[in-house]
Amino acid sequence: MHVTINAVSCNRQGQTITLCLLQIRNRSVKADNAGKKIEAKQVTDYQTQKYGFMISVTFIFIFIMLTPNIAQARSQCTIVGTNDPAQDVRNVQTALDKGCDVLLQGHFDFGEKGRIHIRKDTNIKGEIDSLGLPTTTITGGFWPFHSPLPVPGAPPGKKGPLIDIRNLHFKGPKGAAIHIVYASGVTIRNIDVEAVRPQELAKPWRESETLRFAAGIVVGTRLAHPDSPIRMAVTGVVSIEDNRLYMLCDRPSMTSGHGIMADRTWGTIITIKNNMVTRASRNGIEALDNDRGGNHDAAITITDNKVITDNEGISHPNMFTPNGIVAGWFMDTAGGVNTQKNIPIAVTGNRVEMRGESSTGILLFSDGVIVAGNDIIAGGGEKSLGIVQTGSRGLILNNRIRGKAQYAIFNVPFERLTASANNIAWNDLSNFTGFKGQILLHGAVNMVIGKALTNDKGKANMQREIPRQDLPDSSLENEDWEPVDSLP
């Protein structure tokens, strides 16, 4: 008996699956028994049953091995916008509920309150033009893309979905264009947001019984569940990159406007990179009260972004407004000094233009922050500040601060944060004019290296006017140089 295995490939929903077809051919079996030939048809019933059983088991094994691949194949769904709110929302929601990878084409209208609920692993994207900019538009909606907790306000019993959203242009969403409250990994890339309609939060403040809120992208539990953090709601890797958020609003002094808001996540690795945020009336980029959650790899990196603040902003919850980048622990400053909770933060290579009377370029509420290589342009507000450091053991290195403001670097304690033992080194203040000075030190045991007009009101602070040092030439002085074998 001769067994031939032929491989046949087919394409199912974008995934190639190989099936093995077994063909059995009876051939002559020669036996040298007194010169006689035994034909295949004379093979005993026992032998036939034996080989048939073996072939059946083999086929079942192959089928079982292939079954997981078949189950894991995701459908590809293309949805074309109709500009009918009821139909557009229903079509997109149905595709996501089926577990499809969704491609959106054309123009979608989500109406006043249309919303897509993300409950499963989601991969949704729109189309782009020759420049890579999104051509798929979504108009309206109230939190148009939202991933809610399974039980509102309660820690989830299992990890959330993986969410990937790309290449979409949101026009006029209410509250926020994308609001992720429950996920085990988030990618948001190449998103345009404009004309966000503020929502009213039931949050009294000195000017009103409610607070107007508007944001481009929100990740974390703070907006939906403001009273306290929720463990394990947003975990994993969070990547927010290459987005453009235009946050101009009609009443900036009454609106808490945010471009990107990543607050109250759990054990995450957050990267906020290469985004453009303009005219947010509170914070352009904000990453606050993110808990390490036992993950030693957790980190927050805010890099290569361009932020332009609004000309005025809301003075709630404090007087610093509007701000470029804000990071650390603000709702619970004890987290900023707790190594078990505090996630390492690096703010590097960003460009911030601060235009408000009391703006800050970079505002920090955490120990151990690294702030390096940023370019901050001060628009001349007499109460504005370039870099504000309230935490300790931070490194503020090689930043360029230019223009006019109260101070370029402002070192001051805040609640549990003591503003001590920071190294402030070789920052370029040559084109900065301070209304009161260039650097103010209110903390203790801080070190300033380089030339600056420093106002020291703290304790045991030190300044050394050591110029920046370049490395020596690594080439050999001459061809006769030889290593020294022994020392005297």
Cβ atoms of 247 and 216 closer than 8 Å: yes
Helix, strand, coil shares of the chain as percentages rounded to 5?
10, 45, 45
Last residue of a domain, one of 72, 103, 125: 72
Which helix (H) or strand (E) covers residue 189, if one does? strand 185-194
Give the pair of three-digit tokens for residue 45: 């019933």
Give the pair of three-digit tokens for residue 201: 């939060």
Question: Tens place of pLDDT for every residue, the chain, 488 residues?
Answer: 433 323 333 333 333 333 333 333 333 334 444 444 434 444 445 454 544 544 444 444 444 444 444 345 678 999 999 999 999 999 999 999 999 999 999 999 999 999 999 999 999 999 999 999 999 999 999 999 999 999 999 999 999 999 999 999 999 999 999 999 999 999 999 999 999 999 999 999 999 999 999 999 999 999 999 999 999 999 999 999 999 999 999 999 999 999 999 999 999 999 999 999 999 999 999 999 999 999 999 999 999 999 999 999 999 999 999 999 999 999 999 999 999 999 999 999 999 999 999 999 999 999 999 999 999 999 989 999 999 999 999 999 999 999 999 999 999 999 999 999 999 999 999 999 999 999 999 999 999 999 999 999 999 999 999 999 888 877 766 666 666 676 66
Cβ atoms of 321 and 401 closer than 8 Å: no
Give the pair of three-digit tokens for residue 26: 């009876």
Tell me, what's the pLDDT at 73? 61
CA pair distance 349, 49, nearest whole angstrom: 73
CA pair distance 310, 252, nearest whole angstrom: 8
Q: In b/e form, how buried is each residue of 419-435, taking b as 16+ CB within 10 angstroms? A: bbbbebbbbbbeebebe
What are the CA-CA distances from residue 151 to residues 180, 181, 436 (Å)? 15, 11, 52
CA pair distance 360, 384, nearest whole angstrom: 6
Closest CA to 404 of 377, 375, 430: 377
Tell me, what's the pLDDT at 455? 97
Tell me, what's the pLDDT at 355? 97
Cβ atoms of 126 and 167 closer than 8 Å: yes
Give the pair of three-digit tokens for residue 183: 């996920």
Cβ atoms of 160 and 122 closer than 8 Å: no
Cβ atoms of 393 and 370 closer than 8 Å: no
DSSP assignment letter at 366 = S
Dihedral of alpha carbons 40, 46, 50, 56, sign: positive
Quick check: is 280 in a domain?
A: yes
Quick check: is 149 in a domain?
A: no
Quick check: is 476 in a domain?
A: no
Q: Say what the pTM is.
A: 0.85
Quick check: is 203 in a domain?
A: yes
What are the CA-CA distances from residue 38 to residues 30, 31, 339 (Å)? 6, 6, 82
Tell me, what's the pLDDT at 477? 61
Give the pair of three-digit tokens for residue 421: 């033992």
CA pair distance 98, 76, nearest whole angstrom: 10
End-to-end CA separation in angstroms for the chain: 87
Tell me, what's the pLDDT at 74? 76
Q: Please state the domain count of the chain.
A: 2
Q: In b/e form, how buried is each residue of 186-220, taking b as 16+ CB within 10 angstroms? A: bbbbbbbbbebbbbeeeeeeeeeeebbbbbbbbbb
Closest CA to 402 of 434, 425, 371: 434
What are the CA-CA distances from residue 346 to residues 163, 198, 333, 429 (Å)? 25, 30, 18, 21
Quick check: is 337 in a domain?
A: yes
What are the CA-CA distances from residue 292 to residues 147, 178, 187, 334 (Å)? 22, 24, 20, 13
> Between vectors from CA 23 to CA 22 and to CA 25, what angle results, nearest 5°?
145
Tell me, what's the pLDDT at 7? 33
User: Phi-psi region for residue 60, left (φ > 0), alpha (ψ -120 to 50) or beta?
Assistant: alpha
CA pair distance 325, 306, nearest whole angstrom: 10
Q: Which residues pair with 377 in a beta bridge?
A: 353, 402
Quick check: is 27 in a domain?
A: yes
Domain limits for position 67: 2-72
Cβ atoms of 408 and 435 closer than 8 Å: no
Quick check: is 150 in a domain?
A: no
Quick check: is 299 in a domain?
A: yes
CA pair distance 322, 279, nearest whole angstrom: 9
Dihedral of alpha carbons 457, 461, 462, 467, sign: negative
Give the pair of three-digit tokens for residue 81: 């916008």
378 and 229 share one domain: yes
Q: What is the dihedral of CA 472, 475, 476, 478, to 10 degrees?
A: -110
Which helix (H) or strand (E) covers residue 409, if one does? strand 407-411
Tell me, what's the pLDDT at 327? 98
